[in-house]
Structure 1
Amino acid sequence: MRKYLIYFILSSIFPTFFLSSCGEDRSGEYYALIASKTWMYETMQQNYLFYEDLPAEDGLDFFDKPADFLTSVASDRDQKNGVLFSHIDSVKISRVQSSYPTFGIEGSLVRGVSGDYYYTILYTQPDSPASEMGLKRGDHIFMVDSQKITSSNYTEYFQRPSKTYRYQVARMNDNGTPDSLEFTTPAPRIVEEPSVYLTRNFTTSGGKKVFYIMYNSFEITEETELKSKFAEGLASSPNEIVLDLRYNPGGYVSTALLLSTILAPADAMGKTCFNLIFNDKLNKTENYVFDPALLQGVSNASFDHLYVLTTGNTASASEIIINCLRPYLGDKLIQVGENTFGKNVAQSLFTNAAHPQLEFWLTTSYISNSENYYDYYTDGLKPDYEESEDLTGYLGELGTEQDSLMVPVLYHIEHGNFPSTTPSETRIMTRWFGTNSTPQVVSNSIANKPKRSKLTSF
């Protein structure tokens, strides 16, 4: 298959002039300070999907750091909810490891109506300090080292810790009331973050075989593992597949093409999966098809329904799966959960031999499906059945009948239709701080992750 990797080498010639201090020519220092940003700006003028929104060059600060410079020139259409889609990677980092020492916790900061904060664990990474000490999904950490959690200290306590801590935790027991527990963390460390977080095969009470897979990131380096997990899950010929993308913010477009090909019907092979629509300066559209050559080690999935679980954290490459399979699967594809994030653009990699420390990922194209649909920036992709997780209260085990997003899926598998009342409508409010009111989610670590649709080696 054709390789898609954009490399842009700086070729422009700076105008010759000199900066002098006490007769010393310091023009080289000046050029060194502005060269990377000059290259970025010139690259954007030609390749940026939203090049017409670029500010005039004479009003820009080329002495800014590359990331700050990018923020200052980026179009409003290249961002959403505080997330800038074009981005700078200063070094090549492993996307399947944390980039700094951590406990391996993904969670939500919640503010109770009394003003107290607590941190709800969404999940812990396998073989992480958090999993080793026994923390699990649904635990509520309400104090750290006997200190209250605040909006200013929670990042240090949970997301970027620098030392060990003692957590005071509330955990729901089988009677529906919280037990108070205490955990002392090991030292934070670099943690593996596998793309395939969880798989399970099970049979419903009605005899339907189900393959459930929670997929948290589209990573090129883990494509073999993805195919292996699907091969294992499909070996029992499941009737239904549940693809859990609720916490998946995206990744590599080539990996989305692989997963789409696994899930596409056999008669879709060779047909359009998606198109990349570039700006009018480049004046091109690139077509990518479901490619059976990608299926070495795994076969096309055959199923009655594909249930895709989504939230507002489901973004970018994740949205490709839904949007590009919909024309081929029709009613067999059922989206359950919340509207997705709404990122319908892709980023291309530009590098420069003069600035080898920079990976410049620039938004260069819209991603449309075979029906030329890509207009979901504003509202995201809407679910066929709406349901949400209670991030402030009880969270059931992922992929089970206690999981609020799985409840309507399991009902539909057994009955062929959805329940008239959603779990969130009948949910009993959890009262952690002696209040009957609803706590508010202030932040969650998944929402803070970058939303990526990266174009590279196809």
Structure 2
Amino acid sequence: MKQLRYIFIALALVACSNDDNGVGLPDNPNPDPDADVVVQDFMWQAMNLWYFWQGDVPDLADDIYPTVGEYTDFLASESDPAAFFDNKLRFADDRFSFYGDDYTELTQSLAGISRNNGMEFGLIQFDGSSNIFGYVRYILPNSDAATKDISRGELFTGVNGVTMTLDNYRDLLFGDNATYTLNMADIQGNDVVPNGKEVTLTKEDNFQEDPVYLTEVFENIGGETVGYLMYNGFTNEFDRELNDAFGFFVSRGVTELILDLRYNSGGSVNSSRLLSSMIYGTKTDQVYVEQQWNDKIQEAFTDDDPDALKDFFASAVASGVPINTLNLNRVYILTTRSTASASELVINGLDPYISVIKIGTTTRGKNEFSLTMVDDPGRPGAPFIYTPEREGDINSENSWAIQPLVGRNKNSVGFFDYTDGFAPDIELQEDLENLGVLGDPNEPLLARALQQISGISAKRFIAPSMPAEPFTHNKLFLPMKDNMVLDKKIQLPERLLQARQ
């Protein structure tokens, strides 16, 4: 049985140096110690080693700045680390790499922890206007919003009495204010009009969302027992809860599955592997996905373990608990433009093995994975990659973190090119005038999937007169955004580590 394994990266490309900066620069010196370029130096070193497009960015070339003065001047060319990252290091086609000045906030976001009032929402622009309005997608249990008179499908046009526009919505909804009052609205004809209702919400620090949002079972749908799972984030701290949901499905004799990923913007690669194993089976000799790195890392992998880059379907979650699997030969997945990264990885990873029927609208098209990196060049085995056990070793003078794209996952037949997203097999947009109740068999997307399973076309689905087509949504303003994070163990070979001492 093949397990998720360590990656041994034979990085002959990393110079064996006698300096104390951990990984060192391939041919460049350390910067002038009196220069205020600590953050920029960390960014350059990490990106030079790991960035997927390292070979395509001239300023990331190994030997481009051969003297202390040249390298220091380059690092100091942008006094703002954010500008340095964007202007000097980011590849032009890179849509998703980002950074933050507080690595704690970033790593908590990966665990589903954020400053949150519990209202999940999308934002839509009025035609021909800079004004925008929001609509409630769902309310998180045990949150402040769960105690208020607000629910899925409601609309709002203002905050604290101020009409929302493209220029002010960030400050109104995502600013430092913990509490704000929404000015609610109704649909009247083809317009959205304030209705006088107000709802005050307060963000709670360190709120953790359970991504396993809904589980339902529908009996005798065309002779099948259908499970429905709404899963809203690939958060590895909740893998046990996800497995328990499938244990419930197994106990009920589920023979078909509707997986609702319409609002799932991604997260853990390993959680996607576990979810796919729960759907398809614990076939640990079959490849789920295979990593593709930048050219110099890819070329440096040793030939003694040809499976080092591959992730196989799993038989247990991290705690050792056996996976509850349905062993299905098809799955129905509900999608929207908010379906991204690890959600799309499930679609791509399962596609060679079973029929994946997509219902909804085209997905985001995010096929690269990332790693969280901090100023810890001396981390054994994997310089710069964040691990909580080494927080005491992170440079105390540098709290910045970067989340660069470092590779792509291809499926077992080598496919990875879905940057335009996955188009639905059955197209159906969400309708602001009829969003429905999540988990209710009459909710349009769920109803369409149930109809497909039953084979009975009694209900007619028409294009909505007011489609829910947000230009953004609140999860994109969390520190982790819609990133797909490779949480696979990565370690340099011991012989290279010894050579660098």
Give the TM interval when normalised to the shorter protein.
0.7 to 0.9
Q: Pick the aligned partner of 1:451 from 482, 486, 490.
A: 482
Change (3 A) 1:29 1:124: farther
Aligned match of 2:429:
388
Equivalent position SS for 2:150: coil
Whether 1:320 and 2:345 are equivalent positions in the alignment is yes
Q: 2-side partners of 1:49 and 1:368: how far apart?
A: 14
Q: Hey, what's the Cα distance between the residues in 1 that align with 2:330 and 2:266?
A: 23
Matches within 5 A, 1:38-437: 38-56=41-59, 60-62=74-76, 63-72=78-87, 73-79=89-95, 84-85=96-97, 87-88=99-100, 90-92=102-104, 93-95=107-109, 96-100=111-115, 102-113=116-127, 115=129, 117-160=132-175, 162=177, 164-170=179-185, 180=195, 182-190=197-205, 191-203=207-219, 206-265=222-281, 268-282=283-297, 283=299, 284=301, 286-294=309-317, 296-303=321-328, 305-329=330-354, 331=355, 333-351=356-374, 352=376, 353=393, 355=395, 357-377=399-419, 379-390=420-431, 392-415=432-455, 422-423=461-462, 425=463, 427=464, 429=465
Amino acid at match of 1:314: T
- Whether the 8 Å contact between 1:139 and 1:172 is mirrored in structure 2 is no
How big is each residue's C-alpha offset from its partner over 1:146-198, in whole Å with a ceiling of 9 and x where there is no partner?
4433333433444446254443434689xxx9994624425332233222122
Distance in 1, matches of 2:153 and 2:6, equals 43
Query: What is the SS of the residue equivalent to 1:99?
Result: strand
1:206–1:414 contact (8 Å) kept in structure 2: yes
Report the alpha carbon displacement of residue 88 of structure 1 after superposing the two structures with TM. 4.7
Output the CA distance in 2 between the equivalents of 1:178 and 1:55. Answer: 52
State the one-letter code of the partner of 2:139.
T
Query: Quick one: distance in 2 between partners of 1:178 and 1:150?
Result: 15
Unaligned runs of 5+ in 1: 18-26, 431-437
1:329-361 Cα distance to aligned partner (Å, 9 max, x none) = 1x3x21111222112221234441463534443
Deviation at 1:126, TM superposition (A): 1.5
Change (3 A) 1:258 1:87: farther
Q: Which residue of 1 aligns with 2:67?
A: none
1:328 match: secondary structure: coil
Cα pair 1:348 1:361 within 8 Å, conserved:
yes
The equivalent position to 1:29 in structure 2, one of 29, 34, 51, is 34
Q: Which residue pairs with 2:389 in the alignment?
A: none
Q: What residue number does 1:21 align with?
A: none
**Partners of 2:453 and 2:23 in 1: CA distance:** 59
8 Å Cα contact 1:310-1:337 kept in structure 2: yes
Counterpart of 2:288 in 1: which secondary structure? strand
Aligned-pair CA distance for 1:400: 2.5
Deviations along 1:51-77, one digit per CA (max 9) or x if unpaired, are 122133668554544443222211123
Amino acid at match of 1:226: L
Amino acid at match of 1:53: D
What is the DSSP-based 3-state SS (H/G/I as helix, E as strand, rest coil) of the residue aligned with 2:267?
Answer: strand
Shift in alpha-carbon separation, 1:180–1:2, aligned structure 2, 3 A: same
* Cα distance, 1:86–1:169 mapped onto 2, change above 3 Å: closer
Q: Distance in 2 between matches of 1:376 and 1:402?
A: 31
Q: Which moved more, 1:56-65 or 1:379-388?
A: 56-65
Change in Cα spacing, 1:97 to 1:46, as seen in structure 2 (3 Å) is: closer
Letter in 1 for 2:42: W
Q: CA deviation at 1:322?
A: 0.7
Task: Name the CA shift for 1:415/1:279 in 2 (closer, same or farther; >3 Å).
Answer: same
Take 1:360 and 1:142, find their aligned partners in 2: how far apart are those partners?
34
CA deviation string 1:270-314 (max 9, x = no partner): 211110012221214701111224472432213463111111211
Amino acid of the residue matched to residue 324 of structure 1?
G
Structure 2, unmatched stretches of 5+, are 15-20, 65-69, 302-307, 377-392, 490-501
Give, in angstroms, the shift of residue 224 of structure 1.
Answer: 1.4
- Structure 1 distance, partners of 2:332, 2:175, is 34
TM-score by length of 1: 0.80
* Letter of the structure 1 residue corresponding to residue 445 of structure 2: L
**Alignment RMSD:** 3.4
Amino acid at match of 2:94: D
Matched position secondary structure for 1:257: helix
Q: For residue 22 of structure 1, what is the aligned residue in structure 2? A: none
Preserved CA contact (<8 Å) 1:109 1:441:
yes
Q: Partners of 1:444 and 1:186 in 2: how far apart?
A: 17
What is the TM-score normalised by the length of structure 2?
Answer: 0.74
Q: Residue 131 of structure 1: CA displacement?
A: 1.8
- Corresponding pairs, count: 423
Matched, 1:2 2:31: no
Is the alpha carbon distance of 1:89 and 1:420 closer, same or farther for their aligned partners in structure 2, counting shifts above 3 Å? Answer: farther
Deviations 1:193-243 (A, max 9, x none): 222122222225645322111111111211112112221233201121111
Aligned residues of 2:119 and 2:140 also touching (Cα < 8 A): yes
Identity %: 25
**1:239/1:305 contact within 8 Å kept:** no
